[in-house]
């Protein structure tokens, strides 16, 4: 429950302080880091409250609800990971196509979040475009890129010689970064799974204990 509060707090903080930073996706404009953290934090808090209240009051319905919800989330996580590895090529293709569609919204009215997101990604990862810096040529209908693609940032540097631009594809750069941090991601996933399994075991143990107590006093 405390973890849920922390995640929710970080999500709210990001939403308030980094409101202009949104998703890179054109088809899922509300899928930002802040919104994801708020949603995950809220779900964890609600489920955690069920477990805490159920444990304190030894309420069978609450303990059973906690167990079922936690088990459902656990299976959904396993299913999501399995589907990701099975359909990884298709997911890559869809993600790249969606990101390229999002480039068309760069710099347009009402898409400040997407614009800022691309500027930050290209600057931090030292990359340009989704699969190639030429992805931007279709957006501008000219041989130019955003200024965030420049090796040394300056106004209108995206109009200068291509030799002054980053040419590495952002999609591959981000994938490489995830690969480099794969061990940390797996450790986090295993710790999360272990916490969920312990929650399932303890909730079912308390549920069985509550059943025995009620049966004894009946």
- What does each of the 218 residues of the chain score in pLDDT, given as a tens digit? 444 455 545 545 455 444 444 566 655 555 555 566 666 767 777 777 777 777 777 778 888 888 888 888 889 888 988 998 899 889 889 889 988 988 988 888 877 778 888 998 899 899 999 999 999 999 998 899 999 999 988 888 888 788 889 989 999 998 898 888 888 878 878 887 888 788 888 888 887 876 665 555 44
Measured between alpha carbons, how far is 81 from 75 in angstroms, rounded to an integer?
10
Query: Are 69 and 92 found together in one domain?
Result: no
Query: Are 124 and 172 found together in one domain?
Result: yes
Note down the domain range covering 152: 88-180
Query: Are 33 and 106 found together in one domain?
Result: no
3-state secondary structure the chain: CHHHHHHHHHHHHHHHHCCCCCCCCCCCCCCCHHHHHHHHHHHHHHHHHHHHHHHHHCCHHHHHHHHHHHHHHHHHHHHHHHHHHHCHHHHHHHHHHHHHHHHCCCCCCCCHHHHHHHHHHHHHHCCCCCCCCCHHHHHHCCCCCCHHHECCCCCCHHHCCHHHECCCCHHHHHHHHHHHCHHHHHHHHHHHHHHHHHHHHHHHHHHHHHHHHHHHHC
Residue 62 falls within a domain, yes or no? yes
Instruction: Please identify which residue in the block is written with the tokens 């591959």.
Output: 172
Query: Are 3 and 53 found together in one domain?
Result: yes
Query: Are 67 and 9 found together in one domain?
Result: yes
Query: Are 68 and 142 found together in one domain?
Result: no
Residues β-bridged to residue 150: 165
Query: Are 214 and 168 found together in one domain?
Result: no
Query: Are 57 and 3 found together in one domain?
Result: yes
**What does the pLDDT read at residue 9?**
55
Query: Are 81 and 92 found together in one domain?
Result: no
Measured between alpha carbons, how far is 141 from 64 in angstroms, rounded to an integer?
59
Residue 52 falls within a domain, yes or no? yes
C-beta of residue 126 within 8 angstroms of C-beta of residue 173: yes
**What does the pLDDT read at residue 62?**
83
CATH number, residue 107: 1.10.1450.10
Residue 1 falls within a domain, yes or no? yes
Query: Are 57 and 7 found together in one domain?
Result: yes
Query: Are 60 and 10 found together in one domain?
Result: yes
| Number of domains comprising the chain | 2
Measured between alpha carbons, how far is 34 from 7 in angstroms, rounded to an integer?
10
Claim: this prediction has a pTM higher than 0.75: no
Residue 185 falls within a domain, yes or no? no
Query: Are 176 and 195 found together in one domain?
Result: no
**What does the pLDDT read at residue 130?**
93
Name the residue among 106, 135, 104, 110 with its Cα closest to residue 118. 106
For residue 120, what are its two tokens? Answer: 């930050």
């Amino acid at each position: 429950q405390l973890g849920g509060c922390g995640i929710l707090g970080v999500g709210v903080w990001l939403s308030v302080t980094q409101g202009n930073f949104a998703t890179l996706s054109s088809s899922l404009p509300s899928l930002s880091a802040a919104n994801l953290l708020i949603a995950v934090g809220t779900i964890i808090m609600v489920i955690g409250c069920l477990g805490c209240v159920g444990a304190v009051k030894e309420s069978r319905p609450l303990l059973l609800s906690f167990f079922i919800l936690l088990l459902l989330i656990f299976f959904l996580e396993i299913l999501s990971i399995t589907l990701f590895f099975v359909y990884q090529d298709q997911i890559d293709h869809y993600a790249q196509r969606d990101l390229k569609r999002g480039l068309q919204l760069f710099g347009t009215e009402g898409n400040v979040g997407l614009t800022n997101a691309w500027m930050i990604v290209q600057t931090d990862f030292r990359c340009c475009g989704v699969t190639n810096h030429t992805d931007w040529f279709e957006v501008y209908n000219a041989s130019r890129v955003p200024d965030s693609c420049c090796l040394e940032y300056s106004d209108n540097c995206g109009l200068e010689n291509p030799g002054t631009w980053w040419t590495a594809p952002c999609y591959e750069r981000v994938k490489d970064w995830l690969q480099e941090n794969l061990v940390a991601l797996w450790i986090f996933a295993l710790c999360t799974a272990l916490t969920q399994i312990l929650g399932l075991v303890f909730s079912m143990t308390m549920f069985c204990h509550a059943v025995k107590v009620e049966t004894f006093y009946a």
